Amino acid sequence: MSDRYRVLVADDEEGLRFVLRELLKHEGCDVELAVDGAEALARARAHPYDLYVLDLKMPRVNGMDVLRAIRTLQPGALVVMMTAFGTQKLAIEALQAGAYDYFTKPFEMDELRIILRRALENQALRRKVHTLEEALQDEVAFHRLVGGSEPMRRVYELIQRAAAHDVTILIIGESGVGKELAAEAVHECTPGRKGPFVKVNCAAIPEPLLESELFGHARGAFTGAVADKPGKFEVADGGSILLDEIGEMPLALQVKLLRVLQDKRIERVGETRPRKIDVRILCSTNRDLGQMVEQGAFRKDLYFRINVLPIALPPLRQRMEDLPPLVNHIIRRANARSSKQIAGVAPEALRAMEAYPWPGNVRELENVIHRAIVLTTGEVITLDSLPPALQVFPAAPDAPAAPPAAASASPAEPIQPLAERIGRVVREEEKRLIQQALERTGGHRQETADLLGISRKSLHNKMVRYDLLKFRPAPDEAD
């Protein structure tokens, strides 16, 4: 870790304080000690810490009261509780009160090291999200496009350069990458464009109506044309028009569009009088227009006319460093429209999002976040509120890395696809963690679910999946 973390250890046993201080110093932390709960509270009020390690039973003020006070004083801090053997129920209460994790005394040094490392990694992720969220207000946002990655910065630069020249712009990219937002940014950056930004989805309008929608029609031009109607080109006069999914435009209309690009004039359906327009034409597509030209599905002359300055938007999977600011941006917009206020995303849920390939790009991310906001019962989006495709428990940060496929496979045997290999490793780790939690709680389902941060229903489904129903429910609860 590049930054040091401030940690406060509070316990009335001097020997244990010494062990914890040395262990945390070895992990790169600045450690301070408190002999009881009252001193811990005084230190917490004086200045904040990144991590608190508290004993549950301490003189003067017990650990549970210190925990509740810290959650009020410093909501972003993480608290790990220590408890004596046989008092796991108190530890569960501490988790419900906001503790990050707990360990039982006497403890195994390796287990304690794992818990503390996870807490520090969690705090590192929180810092990263906080830093990106602050940056979102200035350098990582460009008009309504969000992201400070190198691919997006190149897009922003290209938009600014393209906007300075009156040429037709073709915006290309997969569905859901934000082509419409990029077109709107071009419009807003174009000097002297005071007219509206008009959007036309060529794939959403039936072919017989598309010509009238674009160019307008005269009264009596066809059945149902009871009055003159201006088309989208006229509406956009003085501004810009986006022809979205231009690859879906019929060939006959492509000829007429080519004339508009050449002459800057349009003719309404049923009229012969040309009308001069001053419109910036932007086009977008998720299809390979060059390939369509070769197949005869798109006019070659029109393709060269609109492909003067192409802007390619990267898919989300190629700019995953932009995912945290995108998530926070979507949450803020949702909070502004709803009475439900979401504070953020749990680190394990963020890791699951970062591991997902996002075939639907930013649009799919928006749908996932909105779904999670509806399903979550707290202030933080958890792993359990994500769709099943994303509900993969991320591997523990301290888990040993699997050896490379090439090192374990002979040249003759097939190498397992990466996605399958990752999925297998994650499933094995998830099963191990659930087993460990069940053993720690004595098979108590609700306590196990609370410990893992998932719902009891989700726990039951995972126990069925991993053949863990051999862990019988506790006597005082029905399965």
Peptide bond into 400 cis (omega under 30): no
Residue 124's pLDDT is 76
Give the SS3 label for residue 61.
coil
- 265: tokens are 């004039």
Domain 150-315 top-level CATH class: alpha beta
> Can you give the residue ranges of every domain in the chain?
5-136, 150-315, 318-465
Q: What is the pTM of this model?
A: 0.56
- CATH fourth-level superfamily of 5-136: Response regulator (3.40.50.2300)
402-440 tens-digit pLDDT: 333 333 333 333 444 444 555 566 677 778 888 888 888
Q: Do domains 5-136 and 318-465 have the same CATH topology?
A: no
Averages of pLDDT over each 10 residues, the chain, 479 residues = 77 88 88 92 89 90 90 84 73 81 80 84 70 50 86 93 89 95 93 87 90 90 83 93 95 93 90 90 95 95 93 95 91 84 88 91 95 88 89 50 36 44 66 84 82 76 79 60
Distance CA 64, CA 92 (A): 11
Give me 145's structure tokens. Answer: 């496009």
Specify whether the CB–CB gap between 254 and 210 falls below 8 A: no
Write the secondary structure of 326-367 as one string of H (helix), E (strand) and C (coil): HHHHHHHHHHHHCCCCCCEECHHHHHHHHHCCCCCHHHHHHH
pLDDT of res. 219: 86
Q: H-type helices in 81-178, by residue range?
A: 88-96, 109-136, 150-163
Q: Which amino acid is at 113?
A: R
Q: Given this model, what pLDDT does residue 243 score?
A: 96
Q: What is the pLDDT of residues 290-316, one digit of tens each?
A: 999 999 999 999 999 999 889 999 999
For the chain, give the number of residues: 479
Q: Please give the DSSP secondary-structure letter assigned to residue 318.
A: G
| pLDDT score for 42 | 92
Pick the CATH number of 318-465 from 3.40.640.10, 3.30.420.10, 3.40.630.30, 1.10.8.60: 1.10.8.60
